A and B are shown apart, each in its own frame.
Chain A
Amino acid sequence: AQSVAQPEDQVNVAEGNPLTVKCTYSVSGNPYLFWYVQYPNRGLQFLLKYITGDNLVKGSYGFEAEFNKSQTSFHLKKPSALVSDSALYFCAVRALRDNFNKFYFGSGTKLNVKP
């Protein structure tokens, strides 16, 4: 079965420190991988995606993510966290077999950046 796991419900980090939000996936075939951010009372906003090529992808607001095929992971990272990064983050995978059109979302990780 296709699935996405975000093992941490919440991540706390001090402003200026590096942050990592974890994501692992289980899909058949080659996945397309995405990260989205949700601010309070807002819809999900696209941050970055991995389709093919370089395993390190860079996205909006200084975020980046590393695709690791052997560990089936796609962790979101930022070298220096800002208080304004505090939000809910979702990892998603789009499977390229079986149900071609389907996105699978993780349960979300709440990022708290403290001043």
Chain B
Amino acid sequence: EAQVTQNPRYLITVTGKKLTVTCSQNMNHEYMSWYRQDPGLGLRQIYYSMNVEVTDKGDVPEGYKVSRKEKRNFPLILESPSPNQTSLYFCASRPGQTNTGELFFGEGSRLTVL
């Protein structure tokens, strides 16, 4: 089954404790992206990657890091989480740059930073 898998789905942590949210897709998509969803703000892009070893900032990259060492994986790293990073996070993927296709989303990871 074609899917985007995120882990963990739910996480409560404390300020300053490094964490990683993993994302994996099995559709051989070149493009992957991370979003955060906050009430009244819709989805805002954090980082995206056009292919292996190619990443770029989205609209709200502060406090986040990403890496793309393999095509299928695109982890989101919070080096020192803060309460304003409490949010619902989505990973998404789609075929390459010239494709007119839609994004495929994971189920989401709800993060609470105390």
Please give the number of chain B residues whose Cβ is less than 8 angstroms from any Cβ of chain A in the complex: 24
Please name all residues of chain A whose beta carbon is closer than 8 Å to the beta carbon of B50 when the two chains form the complex: 101
Please determine whether B105 and A101 come into contact, CB atoms closer than 8 angstroms.
no
| A residues 1-35 touching B (CB-CB < 8 Å) | 4, 6, 9, 32, 34
Residues of B within 8 A of A101 (CB): 31, 48, 50, 97
The 8 Å CB contact of A106, one of B42, B45, B100, B106, is B42
Question: B-side binding surface: helix, strand, loop or mixed?
Answer: strand
Check A43–B102 contact: CB distance below 8 A. Answer: no
Task: Answer whether A51 and B45 are a contact pair too, CB < 8 Å, given A42-B108, A43-B90, A44-B90.
Answer: no
Q: Cα distance A1–B37 when bound, in Å? A: 21
A residues sitting closer than 8 Å to B (CB atoms) are: 4, 6, 9, 32, 34, 36, 41-46, 49, 51, 90, 92, 100-103, 105-108
